[in-house]
Amino acid sequence: MYTTTSWPERKALGLSKHIYKELIDNITTPFDSLAHAQSFWDDASCQLIHLQPTEINTLNEQQLRCLTDPDFTDLLSGYALYCRITNDYGGGLFILIQNDEETFHDNNY
Protein backbone atom coordinates (compact mmCIF):
# COMPACT_ATOMS: atom_id res chain seq x y z
CA MET A 1 0.00 0.00 0.00
CA TYR A 2 1.24 3.46 -0.90
CA THR A 3 -0.26 6.59 0.68
CA THR A 4 0.42 10.20 -0.24
CA THR A 5 -0.97 13.58 0.70
CA SER A 6 1.27 15.22 -1.90
CA TRP A 7 0.32 15.41 -5.55
CA PRO A 8 0.52 11.81 -6.85
CA GLU A 9 3.71 11.06 -8.77
CA ARG A 10 3.84 8.23 -11.29
CA LYS A 11 7.08 6.62 -10.16
CA ALA A 12 6.07 6.57 -6.50
CA LEU A 13 2.74 4.95 -7.43
CA GLY A 14 4.43 2.39 -9.66
CA LEU A 15 1.92 2.93 -12.47
CA SER A 16 2.44 2.74 -16.20
CA LYS A 17 2.36 6.03 -18.10
CA HIS A 18 -1.03 5.11 -19.55
CA ILE A 19 -2.70 4.40 -16.19
CA TYR A 20 -1.06 7.44 -14.59
CA LYS A 21 -2.40 9.66 -17.38
CA GLU A 22 -5.91 8.27 -16.81
CA LEU A 23 -5.61 8.93 -13.07
CA ILE A 24 -4.38 12.50 -13.53
CA ASP A 25 -7.00 13.21 -16.21
CA ASN A 26 -9.65 11.99 -13.77
CA ILE A 27 -8.57 14.04 -10.75
CA THR A 28 -7.96 17.20 -12.82
CA THR A 29 -11.31 17.10 -14.69
CA PRO A 30 -13.09 19.61 -12.42
CA PHE A 31 -10.28 22.17 -12.78
CA ASP A 32 -9.18 24.64 -15.45
CA SER A 33 -5.55 23.53 -15.37
CA LEU A 34 -3.14 21.04 -13.89
CA ALA A 35 -1.65 23.82 -11.75
CA HIS A 36 -5.08 24.66 -10.32
CA ALA A 37 -5.74 20.98 -9.54
CA GLN A 38 -2.35 20.62 -7.84
CA SER A 39 -2.94 23.75 -5.77
CA PHE A 40 -6.37 22.51 -4.71
CA TRP A 41 -4.92 19.09 -3.82
CA ASP A 42 -2.53 20.71 -1.34
CA ASP A 43 -4.96 23.32 0.00
CA ALA A 44 -7.83 20.86 0.50
CA SER A 45 -5.74 18.15 2.16
CA CYS A 46 -6.46 15.46 -0.41
CA GLN A 47 -5.02 11.99 0.00
CA LEU A 48 -4.44 9.10 -2.40
CA ILE A 49 -4.00 5.47 -1.41
CA HIS A 50 -2.83 2.95 -3.99
CA LEU A 51 -3.35 -0.61 -2.87
CA GLN A 52 -3.84 -4.16 -4.01
CA PRO A 53 -7.15 -5.97 -3.35
CA THR A 54 -5.37 -8.20 -0.82
CA GLU A 55 -4.55 -5.12 1.29
CA ILE A 56 -8.17 -4.07 1.93
CA ASN A 57 -8.05 -5.59 5.42
CA THR A 58 -5.35 -3.04 6.39
CA LEU A 59 -7.62 -0.02 5.85
CA ASN A 60 -9.06 2.02 8.70
CA GLU A 61 -12.78 2.84 9.09
CA GLN A 62 -12.70 6.06 7.03
CA GLN A 63 -10.78 4.35 4.23
CA LEU A 64 -13.19 1.42 4.17
CA ARG A 65 -16.09 3.88 4.01
CA CYS A 66 -14.48 5.34 0.89
CA LEU A 67 -14.74 1.91 -0.75
CA THR A 68 -18.20 1.01 0.50
CA ASP A 69 -19.91 4.42 0.28
CA PRO A 70 -17.91 6.60 -2.13
CA ASP A 71 -19.07 9.96 -3.44
CA PHE A 72 -17.89 8.84 -6.86
CA THR A 73 -16.08 6.00 -8.57
CA ASP A 74 -14.46 5.65 -11.94
CA LEU A 75 -12.96 2.74 -13.80
CA LEU A 76 -9.52 3.14 -15.28
CA SER A 77 -7.77 0.50 -17.37
CA GLY A 78 -7.52 -2.38 -14.91
CA TYR A 79 -8.12 -0.16 -11.86
CA ALA A 80 -10.97 1.38 -9.94
CA LEU A 81 -10.73 4.86 -8.41
CA TYR A 82 -12.93 5.66 -5.42
CA CYS A 83 -13.36 9.08 -3.87
CA ARG A 84 -15.04 10.23 -0.70
CA ILE A 85 -15.17 13.93 0.18
CA THR A 86 -13.60 14.32 3.61
CA ASN A 87 -13.83 18.01 4.47
CA ASP A 88 -15.93 21.13 3.93
CA TYR A 89 -13.36 22.57 1.53
CA GLY A 90 -14.00 19.70 -0.87
CA GLY A 91 -10.86 17.70 -0.23
CA GLY A 92 -11.13 14.00 -0.65
CA LEU A 93 -9.74 10.60 0.03
CA PHE A 94 -8.98 8.74 -3.18
CA ILE A 95 -8.35 5.03 -3.28
CA LEU A 96 -6.85 3.50 -6.41
CA ILE A 97 -7.11 -0.25 -6.41
CA GLN A 98 -6.34 -2.84 -9.02
CA ASN A 99 -9.66 -4.01 -10.41
CA ASP A 100 -10.19 -7.54 -9.10
CA GLU A 101 -13.66 -8.49 -10.35
CA GLU A 102 -14.37 -10.89 -7.46
CA THR A 103 -13.43 -8.30 -4.85
CA PHE A 104 -15.76 -5.66 -6.26
CA HIS A 105 -18.73 -7.83 -7.11
CA ASP A 106 -18.79 -9.77 -3.85
CA ASN A 107 -18.52 -6.64 -1.66
CA ASN A 108 -16.47 -8.59 0.89
CA TYR A 109 -14.79 -5.59 2.47
Q: Kindly tell me if the per-residue pLDDT of 108 is higher than 70.
A: no
Contact present, 49 and 94 (Cβ < 8 Å) = yes
Tens-place pLDDT, residues 3-41: 999 999 999 999 999 999 999 999 999 899 999 999 999
Q: Kindly tell me if the per-residue pLDDT of 76 is higher than 80.
A: yes
Tens-place pLDDT, residues 34-70: 999 999 999 999 999 999 889 999 999 999 999 999 9
Summarize the confidence of residues 72-101 as an average pLDDT.
Answer: 91
Q: From edge to edge, which strands make up the β-sheet containing 2-4?
A: 2-4, 47-51, 92-98, 79-85, 72-76
Please state the length of the chain: 109
